Amino acid sequence: MQWSEKLSVDNELIDGQHQRLIEITNQVEKIFRVEEKTLLDYDEMVRILVKLNLYTLNHFGMEEKLLEKFNYPEEQLKKHKAEHQYFIDFLEDISVDKLNEKTDEVLLDIYAFLSNWILTHIRETDSKYKVFLKLHEQD
Ligand SMILES: [Fe+2]
């Protein structure tokens, strides 16, 4: 998965955070591709998932605060927040037992969800605030 200018929301800070999210997603894929996983790989896997959790909470919070600050239309903000929440719920619902038992299957599920959600969310939802943010940042 690669970030490209097409995914830019014209905000350096947010673009940087989206790039970081894509990087973390790629780390999930990398671990998935390790055939004979060692204990170190399991540690790394947990570390990546914790990092992803913290990073998204921080990123979503910042994005939402920015939109609230400029009075982003309420209906759109609500939808946007609901998408963030859906993502957070997905991460929270990952079962550690299942991850230990069926590691590859679960990792593939996580990777597929992340790559699909992130790209769709940036393209379809974040892109909606692109012009809005540009206009208000000049205030
Ligand atoms: Fe967002």
Q: How far is the CA of 94 from the centre of ligand 1 (A)?
A: 21
* Contacts for 71 with CB less than 8 Å, ≥ 6 apart: none
pLDDT digits (tens, 9 = 90+) for 12-67: 999 999 999 999 999 999 999 999 999 999 999 999 999 999 999 999 999 999 99
What are the pLDDT digits (tens) for 57-84? 999 999 999 999 999 999 999 999 999 9
Confidence of residue 137 (pLDDT cuts 50, 70, 90): confident
Q: What is the pLDDT of residue 136?
A: 86
Distances (CA, A) of 10 to 13, 73, 122, 135: 9, 19, 12, 11
Domains of the chain: 9-137 (1.20.120.50)
39 C-alpha vs ligand 1 centroid, how far in Å?
34
pLDDT given at position 139: 63
Q: How far is the CA of 34 from the centre of ligand 1 (A)?
A: 31
